[in-house]
A and B are shown apart, each in its own frame.
Chain A
């Protein structure tokens, strides 16, 4: 899984600073074809900025990202993103939102209709094609966001805390649904989350960020068979990995609490 030659996404010595404030420093890791890499770390550690640098929405201060061995300087073709706050256009119907990527590519509404319908069915939104986002629950909106991302048949899929603004029950359901969908068409996927359980459940590997500025504390091989199910969280291996990641993230948080001079910021107690 840790191949470098065939890596779909290559992150090399990536650093980002806003003025004097260094967000992360010297990150190097790969994401292979058909692999899910979860990114975890304490709040404010720059997980989201890292994700935005990978897809070209943010320019890194130094280092580089390559997708398909092509350096990423701006958003590239075949890369799709799922956003924490869904990013659906409220003035477009669900069908028009799902079709957005295809519309931008110049595909006519009529030509994209079968594909759009297929995706709406895939994410379980049949019957809501003509609904507007405000008429949907958060979970349904994120289903539409996922369908929009999948519509362009991405070879790289990045998710920025996609379930963070959903209630716990919806989150549990959607985690497994995303896994089910991903398993039917595995792509290279980066998955940012602040939930350690979620990181273990989704990921083949977990990149743990810690420190200020953030650096890679460890990259953990999850080593749990797919397909993963609800019962996966009850397995011994899941527990072991989760506890290891938990301790790694918490150690960092505790260090911040006990060394208030480490940075000027209030320590976060969230995981």
Chain B
């Protein structure tokens, strides 16, 4: 029988693994008593996999490109100094604020446009093609233009984020609004409900799960938008922090910023899932 966990006990390090769960030490003797149950536990397997990747990274870089590729140990070493760096903290603040603002605006715009596209065939005929086209288009290509129109300013970044994040929301909400069960609408008609009761009382709530699914997809795109805008327009923020540090041979510090971006995405998505479970208690995916 193999003991893949054997390595994990010897190379265990104080590395926060991406999912951050379960890093309790597992003595090798435990394998003797309950070999199947504990090392097959998903948290253990995931932790081991993460540690293995770090080990391979460390070993390979150590052996080949030590002088110019960063190693996990190097990243860990700079964490305290990065996290206390004033510039880094203010960059986190501006980027994450912009992402949250952009997501909020994209949610509103995406929901309104999505409901109209989904429910009104005329609007769908007029806008459908453009929505599809813009959704498929790499927004990155528009960033240089936006810097001309909005300057090298945080506004340009916000516009990029909103553009990136609105489209998945529009796309999803339109689909949700289009497929509102016919019976729901017949119930409103038979009760002679006014238009606003149909839209706000039925079409919107029936589409809410799609709004949240759209936001879930929009989170990743919003982060891309923020980072790309900062890269191209040299706007202060986490993206620019990464670019600047890589250019000045501080890969370690860039990777810390990268981890912060990933953690932020994970936290936001977890929040969306929390809302789905807590607020949409009635929602049962078919």
- A residues lining the B interface (CB < 8 Å): 52, 55, 57, 74-75, 77, 79-81, 83, 85-87, 89-92, 100-101, 104, 132-134, 152
Contacts and interface: CB of A to CB of B under 8 A. Distances in A.
Contact of A87 (B187, B194, B282): B187
The residue among A85, A86, A90 with the most chain B CB atoms within 10 A of its own CB is A90
A26 B153 CA distance: 70
A176 to B, nearest CB: 25
Q: Which 7 A-B pairs have the closest CB atoms?
A: A87-B183, A90-B282, A91-B205, A87-B187, A132-B282, A104-B191, A91-B282
B137 interface: no
Contact of B191 (A74, A85, A152): A152
B77 interface: no
Given A132-B281, A132-B282, 14 more contacts: A74-B192, A75-B191, A83-B183, A83-B186, A85-B183, A87-B184, A87-B186, A91-B205, A100-B191, A101-B191, A104-B188, A104-B192, A133-B282, A134-B282
Interface in B180-204: 181, 183-184, 186-194, 197, 202
B61 to A, nearest CB: 53
A81 B197 CA distance: 19
Nearest to B284: A134
Nearest to A90: B282
Nearest to B204: A91
Contacts of B189: 57, 74-75
Contacts of B183: 83, 85-87
A101 B202 CA distance: 13
Interface size class of B (residues with CB under 8 A): 20 to 34
11 contacts: A55-B190, A80-B190, A81-B186, A83-B187, A85-B181, A87-B187, A89-B205, A89-B206, A90-B284, A104-B193, A132-B282
Contacts of B187: 81, 83, 87, 89, 100
A89 to B, nearest CB: 6
A68 to B, nearest CB: 16
Nearest to A101: B191
A103 to B, nearest CB: 8
A81 to B, nearest CB: 5
Contacts of A90: 282-284
B187 to A, nearest CB: 5
Contacts of B188: 104
Contact of A81 (B190, B193, B202, B205): B190
A46 B96 CA distance: 57
A80 B188 CA distance: 11
A87 B187 CA distance: 7
A130 to B, nearest CB: 11
Contacts of A80: 190
A101 B193 CA distance: 8
Contacts of A74: 189, 192
Contacts of B284: 90, 134
Contacts of A92: 282
A80 B181 CA distance: 19
B277 to A, nearest CB: 14
